[in-house]
Structures are given as structure tokens and as C-alpha cells.
């Protein structure tokens, strides 16, 4: 996961933590500014990761759209098979470059949300699964009063 954060308030931490603990996927943070997240070693680049573990199956991206062309070039060089751009991470040039290189490309989707939806944790719309609600429970009046 490129751009994974060790800050629990950031979406890239939440998605990393969920995928690591709930999906069964082997998720590795790629971030040159941190050493680890929750005990998982972080790598400064995809090349450093690939040198130790081989080509990644999927590169999940949490970066600014302006940085995506370089991210795609790194993913291609590392031998990735697919690249997943999270919500709002959209760059037409990077998408075209990834597709031209034969990568499977997912754009403007969240891997955590999609995993939960396919697992049954969210409805097809991603809402109102009945598991989590922002609505307050109706107050029950005390019958003895």
C-alpha cells in the first residue's frame, strides 16, 4: 500500500489496518517516512519491497493525483500485476500508462469498502448494512412510569 500512514486518523491507516486484519491479504506499507505500522515493516519504495519479496500482486495507492504517473512507473518496474487507485486518486495519464503496460486498473474505489461489500458487511450501495448506523436508537419509554 503506497502512502500507508501510521496515523490512526488517516484513511490510509484505517484501510491498511482493516485489510491486514480482516481480509487475509498480506499488506505491506510503502512509505519512505516511516519504519513500520503496527509492527509491520514499511519499505521506502516498491523497488525495495520487490527486491525482498518479489513482484506485488496489487499496488493500492493513497497518493496525490499529481504523483500517480511516477507511482505507475514504479509499479510497472516492480512487476505489479494490478494497481488500485483509492477514492479521489484519479489521473488519466497514469491510468492510460498502467493499462498500456497491461496492469489491471481499478480507479476511484476503496479496497476496504469493496472487500466488506463482497464479504457481506455492506449492501451493494455501500450503505445501510444494518451493522453500523448513524441513527440514534429510538428511546424506549419506561413502562413503570
**Quick check: is 143 in a domain?**
no
Q: How many domains, in total, are found in the chain? A: 1
Residue 136 lies in a domain: no
Cell numbers at 13, concatenated: 491507516
**Cα–Cα distance, 37 to 116 (Å, whole number):** 22
* CATH number reported for the structural domain that contains residue 115 in this entry: 3.40.50.720
Residue 29 resides in a domain: yes
Structural domain containing residue 24: 11-119
62-82 confidence digits (pLDDT tens): 999 999 999 999 999 999 999
- For residue 27, tell me if it sits in a domain: yes
For residue 70, is it within any domain?
yes
Q: Is the pLDDT of residue 134 over 60?
A: no
Q: Given CA atoms 68, 74, 75, 77 in this order, what sign does their dihedral have?
A: positive
Q: 106 Cβ partners below 8 Å, 6+ apart?
A: 82, 83, 84, 85
Binning pLDDT at 50, 70 and 90, where does residue 141 land?
low
**What pTM does this model have?**
0.80
Amino acid at each position: 500500500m503506497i502512502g500507508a500512514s501510521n496515523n490512526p486518523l488517516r484513511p490510509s491507516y484505517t484501510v491498511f489496518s482493516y485489510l491486514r486484519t480482516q481480509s487475509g491479504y498480506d499488506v505491506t506499507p510503502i512509505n519512505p517516512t516511516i519504519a513500520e505500522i503496527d509492527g509491520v515493516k514499511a519499505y521506502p519504495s516498491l523497488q525495495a519491497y520487490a527486491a525482498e519479496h518479489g513482484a506485488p500482486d496489487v499496488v493500492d495507492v493513497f497518493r496525490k493525483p499529481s504523483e500517480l504517473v511516477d507511482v505507475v512507473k514504479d509499479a510497472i518496474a516492480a512487476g505489479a500485476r494490478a494497481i488500485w487507485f483509492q477514492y479521489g486518486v484519479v489521473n488519466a495519464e497514469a491510468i492510460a500508462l498502467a493499462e498500456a503496460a497491461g496492469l489491471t486498473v481499478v480507479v476511484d474505489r476503496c479496497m476496504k469498502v469493496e472487500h466488506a461489500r463482497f464479504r457481506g458487511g455492506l449492501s451493494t450501495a455501500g450503505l445501510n448494512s444494518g451493522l453500523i448506523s448513524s441513527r440514534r436508537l429510538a428511546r424506549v419509554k419506561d413502562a413503570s412510569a
